[in-house]
Structure formats: structure tokens, C-alpha cells
Amino acid sequence: MIPRIRAAGAAALSVLVIPLAPSSAEAAPKSETQARRMLAQLKVARALSIRGYSHKRFQPRWAHHKGRCDTREVVLARDGKGVRRNSSCHPVRGRWYSPYDGKWLRSERHVDVDHVVPLAYAWRSGAKRWSQAKRRAFANDLWRPELKAVSHSVNIAKGGQGPQSWRPPRRAYWCRYAISWITVKHHYKLFVTRGERTALLNMLRTC
């Protein structure tokens, strides 16, 4: 879960074009079989202590990319429909579909950019031992399916929970959610707990 950060001022409306990373669907594995294989390769261990965790250990702020656009603004442009931004790259118009709960959102104020594997959860899965630079890269990763535009309400409900205690309300998204979760953990070599692994396998059965 990540708080929303807004650009100040009321700059003139314009359309900004910036290079975008592949969509989450493109970055994720293509099949349940591939995801199961990746999950089997993950170490199973007990969660580390949350002690020492702070959101700032990953993300003092969103990272900036080419031009004035930060990671959140890139994700909103990537995941939205008909997105228009001001000269500071901040979205001022568009529509966003929240796959977790099936809601269409017509205002950026109702949209959050979710970390599929929450930062606090990643900390307890091994990121506690990373460098600050690696944690920052994780929090701003546009290439893995780690960042997703969702409704603010469902993001708040999720918080820092893992799949053993929270799943998207929309069951039809469980397969994609599990595949995305596994993809991220596999790339970063984060371990899973026994309960987490069981929950992911159950979600993959919906594929």
C-alpha cells in the first residue's frame, strides 16, 4: 500500500508522452504451470520480524523518470483509459479499472497505486537485509507486475497483508494476482511462508 502524492498548482492541461514499461500482464508469467514452477523454487521460511521497518526504508518518495513524471504518474498513465495530464505530469482526467474489486474510477483522487507484494511484507520476506538502493528499486519497479492502479478503498483494506490473510474481493482476479505475486517474489528471491505458499497454490487453482 502506498499513499497518494499530488502535484501542486493548476498547470495548463496538456498531454505528455513518456516511455512506458511493459504492462503487468506482459511482465508476468504466461501460465499457471510456469507460476507453479517458480513458486516451487522459492525458499520456505518463517517471516522475519517487522522490527526496524519504515516506509521510508523503501520509498521516501516516488522515483522520477524521464521528464517530470514519477513512478505513480507512469502507472496511472499505463493502467488508465483516456488519461490526460497537466504540464507537471499529474493526471487531471481519465478512467481507471480496479481489477481487485471490479470498480471503474473516474477520478484520480479515488485511485491508489498498490504494491502487489506490500513493502512491509517484502521486509519480512527478506528485503530487511537489502541495501537501501535495492529497496528503492523494488518500490519503484515498473518492469515486474509489482505496481497496479486500484481503488483507494480496496488498497486500504489490503494494507500490508499477504495472500494467506487477504485476497482480492473479485475472485476472477485471484489467478492473475497469485501469478503476479509469485513473479515478484521469484525475481527478487524473497522467501515465502508455509501459509503463504498454500494460499498461493489455492489461488492458482482458479486459473
Read off the pLDDT of residues 120-136 as tens digits, 9 standing for 90 and up. 999 999 999 999 999 99
Q: How does residue 28 score in pLDDT terms, banded at 50, 70 and 90?
A: low
Q: Determine the Cα angle at 166 with ends 4 and 125, to 5°.
A: 80
* Mean local confidence (pLDDT), 181-196: 98
The owner of cell 511462508 is: 193
The owner of cell 505458499 is: 197
Give the N- to C-terminal CA distance of the chain in Å, as an integer: 25
Alpha-carbon gap, residue 115 to 122, rounded angstroms: 10
Alpha-carbon gap, residue 170 to 206, rounded angstroms: 12
* Mean local confidence (pLDDT), 113-126: 98
pLDDT at 6 over 90: no
pLDDT at 25 over 60: no
Alpha-carbon gap, residue 198 to 204, rounded angstroms: 10
96 phi/psi in degrees, rounded to 5: -135, 135
Q: Which residue has the higher pLDDT, 2 or 14?
A: 2
pLDDT at 27: 54
Taking the model in full, what pTM does it have? 0.86
